Amino acid sequence: MILAPVQYLARDKKHSIEVIMSHVMWTYDAENVATKNGKVKRIVRERYLRDDIACGITACSLCCHDDDDSLEEQPHRHGNDLNLSPQAAQYLLLTVDVVLRQMDVLEYSSCTELSNIIILETVAEQVKRKDMSIYRRLHALIKSDRHFYVFANEHHRDTYVAKTETESAVERDVRATCGAFQWCPSSRSLDSLLTCMSRYTSHLTTLGSKTAVTYIANDTVDAERAAANGVQATTISSFVAPLVKAYPDLADLMSNASTAPVSEGSAKKTTLYAEHKSMSEVLAGIKNKRFFQGTLRCNRDHWLECTVLIHGLNDARVPVLISGREFINRAMDGDVVAIEILPKAQWRRPADAFAVNNDKDDMEDSARTTEPQHIGVAAPTLSGDVADVSDLKPCGKVVGIVQRNWRRYCGSIEPVAAQTTATTNVLFVPVDRKIPKIRMITRQHDTLLDKRIVVAIDSWPVDSRFPLGHYVKTLGVIGDKETETQVLLLEHDIPCQQFSDKVLKCLPPADWTITPENSKGRTDLRHLPVCSIDPPNCKGIYIYMHVIDTF
């Protein structure tokens, strides 16, 4: 990396003059990437580093040198200003895992403590690469009035972390995220946890504010590592715990994905499923034709019988049957999976009927199960001469997940026996039969029994019979017309949220009526049943259709 001072002309918009700015450093990023043709291409990007990027704190004298300038006029401003009112007891700096796994908590607008949040530019970029849907939700929070602020640490001279020759881009991003913790100009040589947070602390001290800056991690290991380096840090669960009394929904919104490593002394649970192959093993297996890639499609009546279409000889599409918990191996409808074809001796016919699914042991702890079971699928009946072996279909098993297709699911919870604890371990039953039950923890068991709710999946460990998830929101009472309509719309991914104020401003006044004057040049089709056909992600209405009964 080359760091060199740069002089450039900057125009003062207020006084229409040009001045020479010398607080910019120039460097470049270089990386080698593989093209689709298998060749290696070197990409070089210029990067200009500055020392005048604002912290985002309202009226910060260290950032805004001109009393007449506002943060809105600065081109590097992101989101809303941070709020230094007495209610802002602290600022929160989030990790990538917190944003990716706890977005439902961050979107809980009723909790005023979940505001004044600092998002590092490195964190936002990682979220964008890993999950575009989460990034869109984060972007909406940044644009809202919740005081989320993106600090451009990738373009600041004191917080930029250059990639070394021996580390990957992912490793560099992890180091850059940590390296933007405590900014101390006199310690620029220090890496990891010692480069951005004290910047905010010093700016707040200059303003005479007692607002604290807290680093929020998703697991205990990250929080302890940060605390060991002198950073005020805590986990998201520890931060939310004192707020549950005032905001009971927060406990249910917490993701149940376990990220903490299992200690050597802890008891090991029974493994119910085979471990998924790593991505490198999957790609190597697909290349040498040992594995095949395709999209898993579950039977519409039950998730325990699935089909994957793969490319066979002469590029023909061959359906491969995947049935039973063991062979489906935690894959779900819509997932892009890698499968391995079973020997012909294990090929079978699709089940003609499903056995009655006896789920009386669904609530038992997964550790008590000693081996995987094929539940809910009738075994094939091949009785020697009577059976027609021509009906046998190629069968396979899932060995790896290439891409998950998890979404939010509508459904209801199963009742359980009376609980003596505040939280209840329940099973959520999706209305879509192609989706397995989801295990979740709730404090609202009695309240949610007769409700349609929305649940998100967090993880599916090898020692859990069902995926683990968390409560998102309540739709309404089961059987209510309005509630069931929302279920249908959400399950088919049809937007049903309220229109924003920006959209409503495009409409005419509420008392607007159709008159002969404003109808000139228009054809009145109100007496016909008309519908529109819109392509995915369309921004307007493109095609109209109407049907006239001629029978």
The Cα–Cα gap between 96 and 170 comes to 12
Range 311-330 average pLDDT? 88
pLDDT of residue 191: 38
The Cα–Cα gap between 373 and 324 comes to 7
pLDDT tens-place string over residues 284-308:
999 899 999 999 999 988 899 999 9
Better-scored residue on pLDDT, 104 or 4: 104
Range 470-486 average pLDDT? 94
Question: Does pLDDT of 409 surpass 90?
Answer: yes
pLDDT of residue 389: 52
Q: Could you give the 3-state DSSP secondary structure of residue 448?
A: helix
Better-scored residue on pLDDT, 434 or 373: 434
Task: pLDDT band for 454, please (50, 70, 90 cuts).
Answer: very high
DSSP state of 367: G
**DSSP letters of 213-236?**
EEEEESSHHHHHHHHHTT--EEEH
**HSE-up of residue 358 (Cα within 13 Å, Cβ side):** 5
**DSSP letters of 456-481?**
EEEE--TT-SS-EEEEEEEEEETT-H
User: Are 82 and 151 in contact, with CB atoms under 8 Å apart?
Assistant: no
Tell me which range, 176-180, 369-373, 493-497, is most confidently predicted by mean pLDDT: 493-497
pLDDT of residue 379: 38
152 phi, psi to nearest 5 deg: -80, 70
Which pair of structure tokens corresponds to residue 86? 């007495």
Q: Could you give the 3-state DSSP secondary structure of residue 329?
A: coil
Which pair of structure tokens corresponds to residue 341? 């074809």
pLDDT tens-place string over residues 204-258:
777 777 788 888 988 888 888 878 877 788 999 999 999 988 998 898 999 876 4
The Cα–Cα gap between 496 and 489 comes to 7
User: Are 270 and 367 in contact, with CB atoms under 8 Å apart?
Assistant: yes
The Cα–Cα gap between 449 and 446 comes to 6
Task: pLDDT band for 163, please (50, 70, 90 cuts).
Answer: confident
Question: Does pLDDT of 381 surpass 50?
Answer: no
User: Are 302 and 363 in contact, with CB atoms under 8 Å apart?
Assistant: no
User: Are 73 and 221 in contact, with CB atoms under 8 Å apart?
Assistant: no
Domains delineated in the chain = 51-61+80-181+193-253 (3.40.50.1010), 276-354+392-404 (2.40.50.690), 408-492 (2.40.50.700)
